[in-house]
Amino acid sequence: MKICLNDRIFSILSEVLDKEEKEGYVIGGFVRDSLLGRDNPGMDIDVLVIGNGIDIAKKVARRLGKDVNVTVFKNFGTAMCKSGNYEIEFVGARKESYDRGSRKPVVENGTLEDDQNRRDFTINAMAACLNSSRFGELVDPFNGRSDLEKKIIKTPLDPDKTFDDDPLRMMRAIRFATQLNFEIEKRTFDSIIRNAGRINIISGERIITELNKIILCERPSRGFVLLEKSGLLAIIFPELDRMKGVEKIDGKAHKDNFLHSIKVLDNISRKTDDLWLRWAALLHDIAKPVTRKYTPETGWSFHGHEFLGSKMVPSIFRKLKLPLNDKMKYVQKLVDLHLRPIVLSQEEVSDSAVRRLLFEAGDDIDDLMMLCEADITSKNEEKKTRHLENFKLVRQKLKEIEEKDAVRNFKPPINGDEIISIYGIKPGREVGIIKNAIREAILDGVIPNEYEAARQIMMKTAASLGLSEIRIANES
């Protein structure tokens, strides 16, 4: 069988390899995706050279044009070449051996067979020849094409050795199964269960890369179920693992918050590709295990889980090697506010409550509403429809208040510097009290968001603090 290699880049690769009398192959993901008919918009191409891959990379770059640079990773014996949409990685064929305490291999020059033996899965071990005499010819020693047709993930060699050598491959197996909607072969999955503890030698940065790819899949819940069943979730993300299970007292049970959370993640994934909004969906109930309480009168409750959950976000992000920046603060905000629209949807909505929500959510109000709608996972279609209809009313109310009062990200007309200047005081408690009084009056609808109205509140509050005499003294 032959793989279709119509792009100009493959002709150039073939010509350079033939001229240098080197054997070369395109291998891995490009071959797999070509056989699956999947788009490869970035044109990520892995080129395997029997010999020096770096040397071939430099010669190909010269053929592509003077503006094309080669980045060489000497320690790994690889080189990266970028040209337009093409991102081509060159590597010499090699064989690897591992020390159990590290995932860094001892690398030696090898043959095509050696290199295919070291690949993670059969579907990633297929190669297509680039030399003109066998151009496009598929080399498939482990029947990867058959596994593609059967939708199976399995390792080329003994899975215990494959995962023991590089435990990150366990995460990759689950990621590929989730991305491609494939099954992990039983022998391979049983090996992941046996070797789950080996994930501890992998850096957090590499683990989170795979976890983020799972979260960005079309149906990420599939990946999280596999992570939980394999035992990997308890190791890499214990806070989420602790959410699973149902407790029952006096015949009353709460829902499985792990299954609920990944269902919410699936729901929101149908609406957005935003990684951080998906993280907010996954973490929105993260504090329920520690806030869970049962009383015979009220049944199960999780009071304050939204507030405590938002407080847990920084430590989770830190442990998972996620960014501790505005992305984290965004997730924190959505976790903290995720019950607010739900409360509004269940009662008569006051302008003041809507105004406050707009103020606190700011530009993230639409994302918050999307999260709240995704949070409806009831199997009762009547109940689900009722909640969604209520959210439509909340959205309409949000729109009306925003158009009328413009409170989204509003700034009160009097700031701290002006208060300090008028009353001749230093920054401190009094300034904060006055600013808060103005803000609360605007949010409660007591006054419009206008300077003169805000000034009246300022003067009244300042007088209650005994500041009017200071202002008079300053003016005299």
Is residue 470 assigned to a domain? yes
With tokens 């020390």, the residue in question is: 99
Cα separation, 433 vs 419, in Å, equals 11
Identify the pLDDT of residue 196.
Answer: 97
CB 43 within 8 A of CB 85: yes
* Chain-centroid distance, C-alpha 211: 7
Segments forming the whole domain that contains residue 91: 8-146
User: Per residue in 31-40, pLDDT tens?
Assistant: 999 999 887 6
The verdict on residue 137 lying in a domain is yes
The string of pLDDT tens digits covering residues 204-260 is 999 999 999 999 999 999 999 999 999 999 999 999 999 999 999 988 999 999 999
Domain assignment present for residue 320? The answer is: no
Asked whether residue 209 is assigned to any structural domain, the reply reads no
pLDDT at residue 90 greater than cutoff 90: yes
| DSSP state for residue 137 in the 8-state scheme | B
Other residues' Cβ atoms within 10 Å of the Cβ of residue 270: 9
Domain termination site, one of 83, 118, 146:
146
* 210 close to 172: Cβ distance less than 8 angstroms: yes
Q: Identify the pLDDT of residue 272.
A: 97
| 106 band by pLDDT with thresholds 50, 70 and 90 | low
CATH number at residue 57: 3.30.460.10
What's the CA gap between 7 and 59, in Å, rounded? 18
The answer to whether position 62 is within a domain reads: yes
- What's the chain's average pLDDT? 90
Q: What percentage of residues in the chain have a pLDDT greater than 70?
A: 92
Residue 24 confidence class, pLDDT cut points 50, 70, 90: very high
Residue with structure tokens 């996972």?
Answer: 377
Cα 235 to Cα 213: distance, rounded to the nearest angstrom? 18
Q: What is the pLDDT of residue 355?
A: 84
Q: Coil, helix or strand for 265? A: helix
pLDDT at 421: 87
Identity of residue 216: L
Per-residue pLDDT reduced to its tens digit, 269-320: 999 999 999 999 999 999 999 999 999 998 999 999 999 999 999 999 999 9
**Does the pLDDT at position 473 exceed 60?**
no
What percentage of the chain reaches a pLDDT higher than 90?
Answer: 67
The structure tokens listed for 401 are 């208040």
Cβ-based burial of 170 (10 A; exposed 0-12, middle 13-18, buried ≥19): buried
CA–CA distance, 145 with 128 (Å, rounded to integer): 12
pLDDT tier, 326 (very low <50, low <70, confident <90, very high otherwise): very high
Whether 422 contacts 415, CB under 8 Å: no
Sign of CA dihedral 419, 421, 424, 429: positive
Tally of domains in the chain:
2
Domain boundary among 82, 117, 146: 146
Alpha-carbon distance of 275 to 216, in angstroms, equals 6
The residue from 93, 117, 146 where one domain ends is 146
Q: For residue 240, is it within any domain?
A: no
Note whether 195 and 170 are within 8 A (CB): yes
Q: Would 455 be classed as within a structural domain?
A: yes
